Amino acid sequence: MTIICIEGMKGAGKTTTINFLVERLKKRGVEVTIVAPFTEANTHFEKVGGVFPLLLKDETVKQGFNYVLNRYLEVIKTASLSKELVLLDRGWITLLCALEDSVLMGKSFCRDSIMEKIPPTLFLNVGPKVTLERRKGELDAKSGLGSESLVERDHERRLQLKKTYQSHIIADWDTTEKLDVESKAFNEQLDCLVEKILSNMSVVNEMLEKSQDAIEMAAKADSKSPTLMRKQ
């Protein structure tokens, strides 16, 4: 499985980008699965009569964070078991930012688990001012924005993580201006990203095939080996 993570603050254009990516990839014959752990968590907590206020410090947050973390790690763990493509709607960067504001026990263990394997990531960069403008009226627990100061701090952390782990960033788009999906520039960016994803998939699938061949060869060799009988 090839995993591509789409990271960005609220209002950065993740949903729009993912929809157009899926359309382009399907035209190239690629089956895509979208996994959105944070959205799943929100849906889960809404069904049980609560909300998932990511940046607040209470028991609901702990449950929500654990839900997202486990779902994310589940996807990462199964990455070597198939040739599918998964687009992750937010992942390691958002988790690490949320972890900083949590009151969870075992922060180091959580951080180590998240950082064990970082997937190739598309970083959508939009500043806090634009986020607040695009999410006007949503500074509440349910939105996950919390307050203006938290939005600013979240943005700073994301930029720092992007800088620190630059080798995992396959594309860095500034989405301060609203995405013009009809523009030549946007479509060229999409085409370039699609080629990078296909190239990444090719490398991963080749590794999977070599691994499978090695397993089959080992199995054949094992079946031809004489059975050693223990001395009575």
Q: What is the pLDDT of residue 133?
A: 83
Give the model's confidence band at 46: pLDDT under 50 very low, under 70 low, under 90 confident, else very high. Answer: low
- What does the alpha-carbon distance between residue 102 and residue 154 come to, in Å, rounded to a whole number? 13
Amino acid in position 231: K
- pLDDT above 50 for 211: no
3 or 181, which is more confident? 3
Look at residues 104, 43, 108, 29 and name the one whose alpha carbon lies nearest to residue 71. 43
Looking at every residue in the chain, the average pLDDT score rounds to 78
Task: Give percent above pLDDT 90 in the chain.
Answer: 31
14 burial level (CB within 10 Å; 0-12, 13-18, 19+): buried
- pLDDT above 80 for 63: no
Amino acid in position 183: S
Strands 85-89 and 32-35, by their bridges, are parallel
Q: What is the pLDDT of residue 78?
A: 80
Look at residues 142, 156, 180 and name the one whose alpha carbon lies nearest to residue 64. 142
- What does the alpha-carbon distance between residue 157 and residue 9 come to, in Å, rounded to a whole number? 11
Which of the given ranges, 59-63, 126-130, 160-164, 192-196, has the highest pLDDT on average?
160-164
Q: What is the pLDDT of residue 137?
A: 57
- What does the alpha-carbon distance between residue 54 and residue 27 come to, in Å, rounded to a whole number? 36
Q: What is the pLDDT of residue 214?
A: 45
List, in order of start, the domains of the chain with CATH numbers.
2-224 (3.40.50.300)
